[in-house]
Structure 1
Amino acid sequence: MTLPGRVPPLLHSLARLLPEQAREAVSWSGRRWWWAGRLDVEGLALGSLQMLAAAVAAYASSTGGGTRISFTSDGAAAAFASYAHLRINNRPVQGFAPLSGFRPTADGWVRLHANYPHHERALFTALGAERPGEVDAAVRGRTSAEVEAVVTAHGGLAAEVRTPQAWADSEQGRVLQAEPWLRLELDAVDPALPRPGNAGPLDGLRVLDLTRVIAGPSGSRLLGALGADVLRVDPPAIPELEDQYVDTGFAKRSAVADLGGAEACRRLRALLAQADVVLTAYRGGSMARLGLDAGSLRAEYPQLAVVSLDAWGDRGPWAGRRGFDSIVQAATGISYLYGGAGDDGGWRPGALPVQALDYATGLGMSAAALALVAARRQGAAGSAHLSLARTAQELLALPGPPPGTEPAALPGPVLRSGFADYGSLTYVPPPLQINGHQLEYPWLPPRYGSADLAWR
């Protein structure tokens, strides 16, 4: 099954692991374009969802089952905006913090990110500010490059709003251009069948989710919806934002553990010995210090599928730098392309209609994980790597909507509601139909950190 019109080549990233019958088991319907902006955000959404669906079909086939998977444009659009649709006790979730956003500098614009308390503290320290009102003046007195450099050096998040060409000409942009969107590393292993189950296409699959924020957790919630036992583990020192956790916490369990401690490390190793998949999404070097980087994990647990995500790639001068979807949009030129007239009549940068880099990369992570596990039947195992910045470059390289394409209103999503530990929730269901039936989350987000370090 291919998308009509201009087809994003995302599915080809896993072509050697996805048999043709798995790709043919996927279908979709609906509009090809609806946001109709400068870039083919719709193609990124549809292409990444198609990739996950084909990987689910491949995994189901590897366990001896046959699964038909479908999705719609409406469902894809809603899933990529799940945060905006979520209601907790009838209130919308909090978006960006007041200090997060675009700020004019002495020579252009910069994007700041201060949603997390420790990033807000780093921003204040870097700019010599004590109150939010002092941040604008501190930024205006520096060039965009200076703000980016000083905030980054203090452990905060800031990105100069570049043009796409300026990013392409940068050293990090050139490094990533030489990388595939999804980098696979495969080894030969003894063939092994995935554990079959009967409660869902992924029943019996064990996924250790060491990801945060949106990208990884949004992908792994779909693995949980499909029947996998997904256990998310967070460090106690930097707890997740509550609203963000609720949005991505469906169909998985949540634990908090200091993996640098001896007891937590021992229990984690016991989990790894029985796991099928490990998803990681921390900046370069942090996982290696714990022995949880892809190379170390693959050496110790050769049957494990390891999929890692970072902001800027694991090679090049920015490999260890922090980053989020909005910061990556600014640095890579997306914010420049979506710029327009501001409230004062002057030009200001803009943003994608949804945080598509996060959601598409998260789907890519989950798709790679399933394809790797399914490949064990043929005696192959390995790891995969993705980055938000490489996803941004993939989006920038796609042809945009045809000239004259206008934004189109899609039907409003059919929302679900339920009552959980966080109260009354209204939310978007998973964007897949399995054998003609709408996929649902088997349970709503449990209390953050409420699970033990053990498989179900």
Structure 2
Amino acid sequence: MLAVSSVPEIDGLGSWWGGPLNVEQLAVGSVALVSSALNSLSNGQFTPAISSSQVAAAFGSSGYLRINDEKTKGFAEHSGFFRTSDGWTRTHANYPHHEHRLLQSLGVNSGAGLGEALGQMSSEQAQELIVAAGGVAAAVQTRQQWLESMQGQAAQQGDWAQFSLRPADAVRTWQYNPSSSRPLSGLRVLDLTRVIAGPTATRTLAALGAHVLRVDAPRLPELQAQHVDTGFGKRSTLLDLSSSEGSERMAQLLQGADVLITGYRQGSLARFGLSAQNLAEKYPELIIAELDAWGYDGPWVDRRGFDSIVQAACGISDVYQTKDGKPGALPVQALDHATGYGLAAAIIAMVQARSEHRGVGSVRFSLARTAAALFEFGAPALPAQPLDAPRMGHMESPYGKLDYALTPFVVDGEILDFPAAPPAYGQDEPIWF
């Protein structure tokens, strides 16, 4: 369902980051899938071209974002590589609750203490101790070690996008509008995702006109810079799904939605009756897209994970190690962004299938499977060259003046901008207009 039906025009270079893996091909290819899906949906009437300068900027969007002329912060103090007795481990502590669990699991309260504690145990011991406490970490492994592990073997299985299609007696009446400058206008997308991958998918759909409502839990707020970077064109609301009112509001939203995207660990939403199986039975016309870190089989299916953690576990950090032997990282959070654009393309394809073939689809993506796709591309075929500076957008927002990279899509010779600034976090009522 993600086969390229029409190759979009690509303006710019094919190699700019360099390095041992062809991150450029993953980036351009995932964005091209969105353009191809739009071409198929519109019967050839809408096929955005792609700017490689804008692709590079979109994949590094947080680095280009300025809020009142200030650059946003990167990884937190306790997120990073730490030496262990037999190698390295990578931690993720950008969210306060993950930082607390990390430090608590090791009985320390500072970065110096963290490094000392990790240095006294093996990488696997550190990984399992932190994970058992609800923290996020992974031992840095070689590619071969990952492929020989039970989770690595499970994550390799299947296609990048795992589709299923179920027949529907009746389907919603949303149809592509050829007169619209944003071809997904009117499509209702319910966004239950966090961090980068899922929000990138819904930011892309919003840029193309979809009505996106993001739902977050009141007790675990998103990081402000993360919300701003991925919130363009969306609405933002808060719902406590453990309350009867929140549960009822969610049911009303699902009843009116065309698409649901979820990005939580397996089982996290099931306790609220929101497993994919239950949703498909209760809302037979709902398109369901799922995303997680490690895949849907194997011993790590319910484990927390982020782009940087998956890079460490699956061999990318080892491949990108520095001259002094320290593990490295991709030039951008490419697993997140490529998965996000792949999700957006898959959703557009499923919207078309529902409209034309009366079939309602579900799809699953994982960051670990995206990593496998990256390794399949191998090394870049061309030497890296400098790109032109990307086109930037400028908007006023509830957070002040925003400077940001425009989308990677070119429509009628112009770089596509987002339709609106990010809203204040949680400001909106949980309703459809």
- Match for residue 359 of structure 1? 337
Q: Find the partner of 1:234 among 216, 232, 254.
A: 216
Superposed counterparts of 1:47-446, under 5 Å: 47-61=29-43, 66-190=45-169, 192=171, 193-197=173-177, 198=180, 200-341=182-323, 346-376=324-354, 377-402=356-381, 405-446=382-423
Check if 1:14 corresponds to 2:21. no
Distance across 2 between alignment mates of 1:415 and 1:437: 12
Conserved 8 A contact 1:67-1:435: no
How far is the alpha carbon of 1:57 from its aligned partner? 2.4
RMSD of aligned C-alpha atoms? Answer: 1.4
Distance across 2 between alignment mates of 1:204 and 1:195: 9
| Deviation sequence 1:44-74 (CA, Å, 0-9, x none) | 001100111112223334xxx8212111111
Conserved 8 A contact 1:102-1:349: yes
SS in 1 for 2:108: coil
Instruction: List gaps (5 residues or longer) in structure 1.
Output: 1-12
| Deviation sequence 1:418-451 (CA, Å, 0-9, x none) | 2110001100111112344331111111100001
Distance across 1 between alignment mates of 2:83 and 2:413: 50
How far is the alpha carbon of 1:118 from its aligned partner? 0.4
Conserved 8 A contact 1:68-1:436: no
Distance across 2 between alignment mates of 1:196 and 1:440: 20
Conserved 8 A contact 2:41-2:176: no
One-letter code of the match for 1:145?
E
Conserved 8 A contact 2:236-2:425: yes
| Deviation sequence 1:118-146 (CA, Å, 0-9, x none) | 00110111111122321010000001011
Distance across 1 between alignment mates of 2:83 and 2:421: 41
One-letter code of the match for 2:325?
W
Conserved 8 A contact 2:289-2:362: yes
Distance across 1 between alignment mates of 2:339 and 2:320: 20
Count, aligned residues: 429
Give the percent of matched residue pairs that are identical in Structure 1 and Structure 2: 46
Instruction: List gaps (5 residues or longer) in structure 2.
Output: none
How far is the alpha carbon of 1:191 from its aligned partner? 6.3
One-letter code of the match for 2:410?
Q
Conserved 8 A contact 1:287-1:293: yes
Conserved 8 A contact 1:69-1:436: no
SS in 2 for 1:347: coil
User: Please, what TM-score do these two structures have when normalized by structure 2?
Assistant: 0.96
Distance across 2 between alignment mates of 1:300 and 1:96: 40
Distance across 1 between alignment mates of 2:243 and 2:104: 30
Conserved 8 A contact 1:209-1:279: yes
- Match for residue 8 of structure 1? none
User: Please, what TM-score do these two structures have when normalized by structure 1?
Assistant: 0.91
How far is the alpha carbon of 1:397 from its aligned partner? 1.8
- Match for residue 42 of structure 1? 24
Distance across 2 between alignment mates of 1:454 and 1:171: 43
Conserved 8 A contact 2:160-2:370: yes
